[in-house]
Amino acid sequence: MPLTVKICGLSTPETLDAALLAGADMVGFVFFPPSPRHVSLDMAEKLGQQAKKAVKVALSVDADDALLANSIEALRPQILQLHGKESLARIRDIKQKFGLPVMKAIAVETAADLAALPGYAAVCDRILFDAKAPKDATRPGGLGAVFDWHLLEGLDLKLPFMVSGGLNAENVAEAVRITRAGGVDISSGVESAPGIKDPEMIRNFIRAARATEELAT
């Protein structure tokens, strides 16, 4: 199957255009003020109208219903990405209230971090495995850290999953080879500075990710 490539944390028309032209399957927008990738509702509406060729993903972190409703109204996403400590009950509630598929991010450092996977897999539509943030971090993702991909070897998961965390054009092929993930998600790995996406890095990453499809055939 084709690899799903997601560019996350897009915040300007120029970098979104670069991702779309390079063939990104999913484009992610961050609704979390502590993040340098946070987008205003006005900008989200503008970018949402621009992103017609890709699946739009609205990322939030332990958001309340008001923030979710406002971000959905502005962006019109196809998927909600929950990147906080949302409980199973909260995820069920969000799906019921907003009627959108949910991708849950699971922070991974050791095998013990996968213990919650069956519960999330039962209520979510997609899983994103990301590196666990340091204890003193102010946000859960976009930190450029890599986790041990071998923890996902032989994973028997019935729903689609993606890997994230410290990916770049040089290591994406190894990440896909080890995890057999159906998708990859990158944010800080295509930035020249925190929150500043680099069009050339975006193009290089997507090109490298697509090359893994050729290796698999």
Answer yes or no: are the C-beta atoms of 198 and 163 closer than 8 Å: no
**Catalytic status, residue 124:** no
Answer yes or no: are the C-beta atoms of 198 and 10 closer than 8 Å: no
Answer yes or no: are the C-beta atoms of 152 and 179 closer than 8 Å: yes
Answer yes or no: are the C-beta atoms of 159 and 121 closer than 8 Å: yes
Catalytic residue among 8, 25, 124, 185: 8
**Catalytic status, residue 130:** yes
Cα–Cα separations (whole angstroms), residue 148 to 3, 87, 165, 190: 20, 25, 10, 21
Catalytic residue among 25, 124, 130, 185: 130
Cα–Cα separations (whole angstroms), residue 83 to 51, 149, 201: 22, 19, 24
CA atoms within 13 Å, Cβ hemisphere of 115: 5
Catalytic residues, which ones? Answer: 8, 130
